[in-house]
Amino acid sequence: MSIAVYPGSFDPITLGHLNIIRRSAAVFNEVLVCVMVNSGKNPLFNIEERVELIERTVERFPNVRVECSSKLLVELMKERGAKVIIKGLRAVSDFDREFQIALINRKLDDGIETLFMPSSEKYTYLSSTAVKEMARYGADLRTFVPMEIIDDVIRKVESEGWR
Per the DSSP assignment, residues forming a β-bridge with 85 are 5, 114
The yes-or-no answer on residue 17 being catalytic is yes
Contact string (CB under 6 A) for ligand ADP, positions 37-76, x = contact: ----------------------------------------
Q: Any contact of residue 90 with ligand ADP (CB under 6 A)?
A: yes
Closer residue to ligand ADP, CB minimum distance, 98 or 148: 98
Interacting span for ligand ADP (CB under 6 A) from 8-16, 44-52, 75-83, 154-162: 8-16
Give which of 82, 93, 85 is closest to 124, Cα–Cα: 93
State the DSSP code for 121: G
Half-sphere exposure for 146 (CA within 13 Å, toward CB): 21
Under rule CB under 6 A, residue 114 binds ligand ADP: no
Cα separation values, 64 from 27, 30, 56, 74, 93, Å? 12, 6, 11, 19, 28
- The reply to whether 94 sits near ligand ADP by the rule CB under 6 A is yes
Out of 22, 65, 106, 127, the only residue in the binding site for ligand ADP (CB under 6 A) is 127
Beta carbons of 64 and 76 less than 8 angstroms apart: no
Among 47, 128, 145, 146, binds ligand ADP (CB under 6 A): 128
How far, CA to CA in Å, does 134 sit from each of 79, 111, 144, 145?
38, 40, 9, 11
Site residues, ligand ADP (CB under 6 A): 8-10, 14, 16-17, 20, 87-88, 90, 94, 119, 123, 126-129
Residues known to be catalytic: 17, 41, 90, 128
